[in-house]
């Protein structure tokens, strides 16, 4: 997947993660894209480490892995911001 594909994928994943875990987070669309891309990378890393697969293409499985990674990042961000 090229850089434009990762940006679109990150936008979709970031929006879905924020829809699943709503809250008052700063950053707007740029942070949503970064959250989605980082979530895809984190989710892909964790999934490949435990043998579930990777987030290296635009499939339903990689979308779920990426969303779970983005939700994990969002949870960590909110936990750190609270302290």
What residues contact residue 75 under an 8 Å CB cut-off, 6+ apart?
21
Residue 37's pLDDT band, with cuts at 50, 70 and 90, is: confident
Domain residue spans in the chain? 3-82
pLDDT higher at 73 or 26: 73
On the CB side of 20, CA atoms within 13 Å amount to 17
State residue 54's pLDDT score: 57
Distance in Å from the first CA to the final CA of the chain: 37
pTM of the predicted model, to two decimals? Answer: 0.76
Residue 41's pLDDT band, with cuts at 50, 70 and 90, is: confident
Q: Closest Cα to residue 12, out of 61, 52, 66? A: 66
pLDDT higher at 71 or 56: 71
Percent over 70 (pLDDT), the chain: 84
């Amino acid at each position: 997947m090229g850089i434009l594909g990762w940006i679109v994928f990150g936008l979709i994943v970031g929006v879905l993660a924020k829809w699943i875990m709503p809250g008052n987070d700063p950053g707007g669309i740029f942070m949503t894209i970064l959250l989605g891309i980082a979530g895809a990378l984190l989710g892909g890393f964790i999934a490949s480490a435990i043998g579930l697969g990777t987030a290296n293409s635009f499939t339903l499985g990689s979308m779920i892995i990426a969303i779970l990674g983005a939700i994990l990042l969002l949870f960590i961000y909110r936990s750190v911001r609270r302290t």
